[in-house]
Amino acid sequence: MHICTSANLHINMKSVLNKHKARDPWFLDEYSINPYEGCSCNCLYCYIRGSKYGENMADTLAIKSNALEVLDKQLKRQADKNQYGIVAVGSATDAYLPQEATHQLTRGYLELLLKYRFPVFISTKRDLILRDVGILKEIDKQAILPNDLNLGRGVILSVSISTLDTNISNMLEPGAIAPGDRLQLVHELKQHGFLVGVNAIPLLPFISDTEDELEKIIAAATNAGADYILAGSLTLFGNDKADSKTLYYKFLERYNLDLIPYYDELYNGNTYTPWSYQAALKEKAGRLCKKYNLRTSILP
Protein backbone atom coordinates (compact mmCIF):
# COMPACT_ATOMS: atom_id res chain seq x y z
CA MET A 1 0.00 0.00 0.00
CA HIS A 2 1.27 3.46 -0.88
CA ILE A 3 1.24 6.09 1.86
CA CYS A 4 1.14 9.78 1.03
CA THR A 5 3.99 11.99 2.16
CA SER A 6 4.19 15.75 2.63
CA ALA A 7 1.79 18.22 1.00
CA ASN A 8 0.63 21.81 1.33
CA LEU A 9 -2.33 20.76 3.45
CA HIS A 10 -3.27 17.51 5.18
CA ILE A 11 -6.81 16.68 6.26
CA ASN A 12 -8.22 13.66 8.11
CA MET A 13 -11.45 12.10 6.92
CA LYS A 14 -14.20 10.30 8.80
CA SER A 15 -15.59 8.98 5.53
CA VAL A 16 -14.15 8.60 2.03
CA LEU A 17 -16.64 6.40 0.18
CA ASN A 18 -19.74 8.30 -0.91
CA LYS A 19 -22.80 6.20 -1.74
CA HIS A 20 -25.29 7.74 -4.18
CA LYS A 21 -29.03 7.54 -3.73
CA ALA A 22 -29.26 6.00 -7.20
CA ARG A 23 -26.94 4.83 -9.96
CA ASP A 24 -25.68 7.71 -12.09
CA PRO A 25 -27.48 7.45 -15.46
CA TRP A 26 -24.46 8.74 -17.39
CA PHE A 27 -21.43 7.14 -15.76
CA LEU A 28 -23.18 4.14 -14.09
CA ASP A 29 -21.42 4.72 -10.76
CA GLU A 30 -23.10 4.08 -7.43
CA TYR A 31 -20.18 5.27 -5.31
CA SER A 32 -17.56 8.00 -5.58
CA ILE A 33 -14.18 8.59 -3.93
CA ASN A 34 -11.85 11.56 -4.22
CA PRO A 35 -8.16 11.26 -3.31
CA TYR A 36 -7.70 15.03 -3.15
CA GLU A 37 -9.82 18.00 -2.16
CA GLY A 38 -9.51 20.70 -4.77
CA CYS A 39 -8.00 20.19 -8.20
CA SER A 40 -4.87 21.55 -9.85
CA CYS A 41 -6.29 21.16 -13.36
CA ASN A 42 -7.87 24.55 -12.53
CA CYS A 43 -10.58 24.32 -15.19
CA LEU A 44 -12.42 27.64 -15.06
CA TYR A 45 -15.81 26.05 -15.78
CA CYS A 46 -15.51 23.35 -13.10
CA TYR A 47 -18.75 22.76 -11.19
CA ILE A 48 -16.92 22.43 -7.85
CA ARG A 49 -15.56 25.96 -8.10
CA GLY A 50 -16.57 28.17 -5.24
CA SER A 51 -15.15 30.29 -2.45
CA LYS A 52 -14.23 27.16 -0.47
CA TYR A 53 -11.55 26.30 -3.02
CA GLY A 54 -10.26 29.72 -3.97
CA GLU A 55 -9.69 31.14 -7.42
CA ASN A 56 -6.72 28.85 -8.02
CA MET A 57 -7.65 25.46 -6.63
CA ALA A 58 -4.05 24.22 -6.81
CA ASP A 59 -3.17 26.62 -3.99
CA THR A 60 -5.60 24.94 -1.60
CA LEU A 61 -5.21 21.35 -2.76
CA ALA A 62 -5.58 19.07 0.26
CA ILE A 63 -4.28 15.53 0.74
CA LYS A 64 -6.59 13.15 2.59
CA SER A 65 -3.96 11.75 4.91
CA ASN A 66 -5.91 8.86 6.45
CA ALA A 67 -7.96 8.10 3.33
CA LEU A 68 -6.56 4.62 2.68
CA GLU A 69 -7.26 3.39 6.18
CA VAL A 70 -10.80 4.77 6.12
CA LEU A 71 -11.54 3.49 2.62
CA ASP A 72 -10.29 0.00 3.50
CA LYS A 73 -12.86 -0.23 6.29
CA GLN A 74 -15.68 1.21 4.20
CA LEU A 75 -15.09 -1.04 1.19
CA LYS A 76 -14.88 -4.12 3.44
CA ARG A 77 -18.20 -3.19 5.02
CA GLN A 78 -19.90 -2.86 1.64
CA ALA A 79 -18.30 -6.04 0.27
CA ASP A 80 -19.37 -8.01 3.34
CA LYS A 81 -22.95 -6.90 2.63
CA ASN A 82 -22.50 -7.79 -1.08
CA GLN A 83 -23.30 -4.19 -2.00
CA TYR A 84 -21.15 -3.95 -5.09
CA GLY A 85 -21.37 -1.04 -7.50
CA ILE A 86 -19.17 0.98 -9.79
CA VAL A 87 -16.96 3.43 -7.91
CA ALA A 88 -16.13 6.73 -9.63
CA VAL A 89 -12.53 7.57 -8.72
CA GLY A 90 -12.17 11.35 -8.86
CA SER A 91 -15.69 12.76 -9.21
CA ALA A 92 -14.81 16.18 -7.74
CA THR A 93 -11.14 16.23 -8.70
CA ASP A 94 -8.97 14.65 -11.37
CA ALA A 95 -7.55 11.40 -10.00
CA TYR A 96 -4.29 11.94 -11.92
CA LEU A 97 -3.18 15.40 -10.90
CA PRO A 98 0.58 16.07 -11.07
CA GLN A 99 0.64 15.69 -7.27
CA GLU A 100 -0.48 12.08 -7.66
CA ALA A 101 2.96 11.17 -9.02
CA THR A 102 4.34 11.87 -5.54
CA HIS A 103 1.48 11.07 -3.16
CA GLN A 104 0.03 8.06 -5.00
CA LEU A 105 -3.32 8.17 -3.24
CA THR A 106 -5.18 7.24 -6.41
CA ARG A 107 -2.88 4.24 -6.76
CA GLY A 108 -3.67 3.28 -3.17
CA TYR A 109 -7.39 3.62 -3.85
CA LEU A 110 -7.11 1.30 -6.85
CA GLU A 111 -5.24 -1.30 -4.80
CA LEU A 112 -8.08 -1.33 -2.28
CA LEU A 113 -10.73 -1.47 -5.00
CA LEU A 114 -8.93 -4.49 -6.46
CA LYS A 115 -8.62 -6.07 -3.01
CA TYR A 116 -12.40 -5.90 -2.51
CA ARG A 117 -13.20 -6.42 -6.22
CA PHE A 118 -15.16 -3.22 -6.84
CA PRO A 119 -15.62 -2.02 -10.45
CA VAL A 120 -14.27 1.40 -11.37
CA PHE A 121 -15.12 4.45 -13.49
CA ILE A 122 -12.42 7.07 -14.08
CA SER A 123 -12.62 10.26 -16.12
CA THR A 124 -9.37 12.18 -16.54
CA LYS A 125 -7.59 14.91 -18.50
CA ARG A 126 -4.11 13.65 -17.69
CA ASP A 127 -1.99 10.79 -19.03
CA LEU A 128 -0.56 9.75 -15.65
CA ILE A 129 -3.34 7.15 -15.75
CA LEU A 130 -1.04 5.09 -18.00
CA ARG A 131 1.08 4.38 -14.92
CA ASP A 132 -1.79 2.29 -13.53
CA VAL A 133 -2.62 0.22 -16.62
CA GLY A 134 -1.52 -2.99 -14.90
CA ILE A 135 -3.74 -2.68 -11.84
CA LEU A 136 -6.66 -1.40 -13.94
CA LYS A 137 -6.43 -4.54 -16.08
CA GLU A 138 -6.67 -6.67 -12.93
CA ILE A 139 -9.72 -4.72 -11.73
CA ASP A 140 -11.24 -5.09 -15.21
CA LYS A 141 -10.95 -8.88 -14.91
CA GLN A 142 -11.76 -9.41 -11.24
CA ALA A 143 -14.39 -6.81 -10.30
CA ILE A 144 -17.83 -7.98 -9.19
CA LEU A 145 -20.63 -6.11 -10.94
CA PRO A 146 -24.17 -5.62 -9.67
CA ASN A 147 -26.47 -8.36 -10.96
CA ASP A 148 -28.55 -5.96 -13.03
CA LEU A 149 -25.60 -4.34 -14.81
CA ASN A 150 -24.60 -6.49 -17.77
CA LEU A 151 -21.38 -4.72 -18.64
CA GLY A 152 -19.08 -7.71 -18.84
CA ARG A 153 -16.05 -5.91 -17.43
CA GLY A 154 -14.93 -4.01 -14.36
CA VAL A 155 -13.35 -0.79 -15.65
CA ILE A 156 -14.80 2.13 -17.61
CA LEU A 157 -12.41 4.89 -18.64
CA SER A 158 -13.25 8.32 -20.06
CA VAL A 159 -11.09 11.16 -21.30
CA SER A 160 -12.66 14.62 -21.01
CA ILE A 161 -12.55 16.92 -24.04
CA SER A 162 -14.54 20.17 -24.22
CA THR A 163 -12.79 21.62 -27.27
CA LEU A 164 -10.13 20.62 -29.77
CA ASP A 165 -8.77 24.18 -29.86
CA THR A 166 -5.49 24.21 -27.92
CA ASN A 167 -5.60 27.98 -27.40
CA ILE A 168 -9.03 27.76 -25.77
CA SER A 169 -7.98 24.75 -23.72
CA ASN A 170 -4.89 26.59 -22.48
CA MET A 171 -7.11 29.39 -21.18
CA LEU A 172 -9.89 27.23 -19.73
CA GLU A 173 -8.02 24.11 -18.58
CA PRO A 174 -4.48 25.25 -17.72
CA GLY A 175 -3.60 22.15 -15.69
CA ALA A 176 -4.80 19.60 -18.24
CA ILE A 177 -2.84 18.07 -21.10
CA ALA A 178 -3.58 19.37 -24.61
CA PRO A 179 -6.67 18.08 -26.47
CA GLY A 180 -4.52 16.31 -29.03
CA ASP A 181 -2.65 14.54 -26.25
CA ARG A 182 -5.96 13.50 -24.72
CA LEU A 183 -7.02 11.92 -28.00
CA GLN A 184 -3.71 10.07 -28.05
CA LEU A 185 -4.51 8.91 -24.52
CA VAL A 186 -7.84 7.50 -25.74
CA HIS A 187 -5.94 5.59 -28.43
CA GLU A 188 -3.35 4.22 -26.00
CA LEU A 189 -5.95 3.09 -23.47
CA LYS A 190 -7.86 1.34 -26.26
CA GLN A 191 -4.63 -0.36 -27.32
CA HIS A 192 -4.46 -1.79 -23.80
CA GLY A 193 -7.91 -3.30 -24.30
CA PHE A 194 -10.04 -1.06 -22.07
CA LEU A 195 -13.57 0.20 -22.56
CA VAL A 196 -12.80 3.87 -23.29
CA GLY A 197 -14.90 6.87 -24.21
CA VAL A 198 -14.82 10.64 -24.45
CA ASN A 199 -16.65 12.97 -22.08
CA ALA A 200 -17.52 15.96 -24.23
CA ILE A 201 -18.65 17.65 -21.03
CA PRO A 202 -19.05 20.53 -20.91
CA LEU A 203 -19.44 21.59 -24.50
CA LEU A 204 -19.01 25.34 -24.76
CA PRO A 205 -22.02 27.26 -26.12
CA PHE A 206 -21.35 29.03 -29.43
CA ILE A 207 -17.78 27.68 -29.36
CA SER A 208 -17.58 23.89 -29.34
CA ASP A 209 -21.29 23.02 -29.43
CA THR A 210 -21.75 24.10 -33.05
CA GLU A 211 -22.48 21.51 -35.72
CA ASP A 212 -19.00 21.79 -37.25
CA GLU A 213 -17.04 21.79 -33.98
CA LEU A 214 -19.04 18.98 -32.41
CA GLU A 215 -18.59 16.89 -35.53
CA LYS A 216 -14.83 17.47 -35.32
CA ILE A 217 -14.81 16.20 -31.73
CA ILE A 218 -16.91 13.15 -32.62
CA ALA A 219 -14.80 12.37 -35.68
CA ALA A 220 -11.60 12.70 -33.66
CA ALA A 221 -12.97 10.47 -30.89
CA THR A 222 -13.94 7.86 -33.48
CA ASN A 223 -10.51 7.99 -35.10
CA ALA A 224 -8.90 7.54 -31.67
CA GLY A 225 -10.93 4.37 -31.16
CA ALA A 226 -13.42 5.59 -28.56
CA ASP A 227 -16.28 3.24 -27.72
CA TYR A 228 -18.69 6.04 -26.83
CA ILE A 229 -19.03 9.79 -26.39
CA LEU A 230 -21.06 11.58 -23.73
CA ALA A 231 -22.08 15.13 -24.69
CA GLY A 232 -23.30 17.58 -22.07
CA SER A 233 -23.89 21.28 -21.57
CA LEU A 234 -22.05 23.89 -19.53
CA THR A 235 -23.10 24.74 -15.97
CA LEU A 236 -22.24 28.24 -14.72
CA PHE A 237 -22.36 28.59 -10.96
CA GLY A 238 -22.28 31.64 -8.71
CA ASN A 239 -21.20 35.26 -8.84
CA ASP A 240 -18.33 35.32 -6.35
CA LYS A 241 -14.81 35.88 -7.65
CA ALA A 242 -13.87 32.19 -7.46
CA ASP A 243 -17.12 30.79 -8.89
CA SER A 244 -17.26 29.20 -12.32
CA LYS A 245 -19.62 31.77 -13.83
CA THR A 246 -17.36 34.66 -12.85
CA LEU A 247 -14.23 32.95 -14.12
CA TYR A 248 -15.86 31.76 -17.32
CA TYR A 249 -17.08 35.26 -18.15
CA LYS A 250 -13.53 36.51 -17.65
CA PHE A 251 -12.49 33.92 -20.20
CA LEU A 252 -15.15 35.21 -22.61
CA GLU A 253 -13.81 38.73 -22.17
CA ARG A 254 -10.39 37.48 -23.29
CA TYR A 255 -11.62 35.14 -26.00
CA ASN A 256 -14.51 36.96 -27.67
CA LEU A 257 -16.45 39.79 -26.04
CA ASP A 258 -19.15 39.52 -28.69
CA LEU A 259 -20.29 36.20 -27.24
CA ILE A 260 -21.29 37.64 -23.86
CA PRO A 261 -24.76 38.87 -24.93
CA TYR A 262 -25.49 35.42 -26.36
CA TYR A 263 -24.55 33.80 -23.05
CA ASP A 264 -26.65 36.32 -21.14
CA GLU A 265 -29.65 35.43 -23.29
CA LEU A 266 -29.04 31.67 -23.17
CA TYR A 267 -28.63 31.41 -19.39
CA ASN A 268 -30.95 34.30 -18.47
CA GLY A 269 -29.50 34.43 -14.96
CA ASN A 270 -29.78 30.65 -14.45
CA THR A 271 -27.11 28.09 -13.60
CA TYR A 272 -28.11 25.64 -16.33
CA THR A 273 -28.90 25.95 -20.00
CA PRO A 274 -32.62 25.69 -20.89
CA TRP A 275 -34.13 22.25 -21.49
CA SER A 276 -34.75 23.24 -25.11
CA TYR A 277 -31.01 23.84 -25.58
CA GLN A 278 -30.14 20.55 -23.88
CA ALA A 279 -32.64 18.65 -26.00
CA ALA A 280 -31.27 20.20 -29.18
CA LEU A 281 -27.71 19.36 -28.12
CA LYS A 282 -28.70 15.76 -27.39
CA GLU A 283 -30.36 15.47 -30.79
CA LYS A 284 -27.38 16.94 -32.59
CA ALA A 285 -24.89 14.70 -30.79
CA GLY A 286 -27.05 11.64 -31.43
CA ARG A 287 -27.37 12.39 -35.11
CA LEU A 288 -23.64 12.97 -35.57
CA CYS A 289 -22.72 9.90 -33.52
CA LYS A 290 -25.02 7.79 -35.70
CA LYS A 291 -23.13 9.09 -38.73
CA TYR A 292 -19.84 7.95 -37.19
CA ASN A 293 -21.27 4.75 -35.67
CA LEU A 294 -20.32 5.90 -32.18
CA ARG A 295 -22.43 5.18 -29.08
CA THR A 296 -23.92 8.03 -27.05
CA SER A 297 -23.88 5.96 -23.86
CA ILE A 298 -21.51 3.62 -22.07
CA LEU A 299 -23.85 0.65 -22.36
CA PRO A 300 -24.50 -0.71 -25.88
The pLDDT-based confidence of 5 (bands split at 50, 70, 90) is very low
| 1: in domain | no
pLDDT in tens, 156-207: 999 999 999 999 999 999 999 999 999 999 999 999 999 999 999 999 999 9
Q: Which domain holds residue 271?
A: 10-291
Q: How many domains does the chain have?
A: 1
The residue ranges of DSSP E strands in the chain, in sequence order, are 10-11, 18-19, 29-33, 36-37, 62-64, 86-89, 120-124, 155-160, 195-200, 228-231
Going by pLDDT thresholds of 50, 70 and 90, the confidence category of residue 59 is low
pTM greater than 0.85: yes
Does 40 map to a domain? Answer: yes
CATH number at residue 196: 3.20.20.70
User: Is residue 165 a part of any domain in this protein?
Assistant: yes
Q: What is the structure's pLDDT at 46?
A: 81
pLDDT at 49: 53
Rg (CA), the chain: 19
180 part of a folded domain: yes
pLDDT in tens, 97-140: 988 999 999 999 999 999 999 999 999 999 999 999 999 999 99
Residue 176 inside a domain? The answer is yes
Q: Is residue 4 part of a domain?
A: no
5 lies in some domain: no
Let me know if residue 300 belongs to a domain. Answer: no
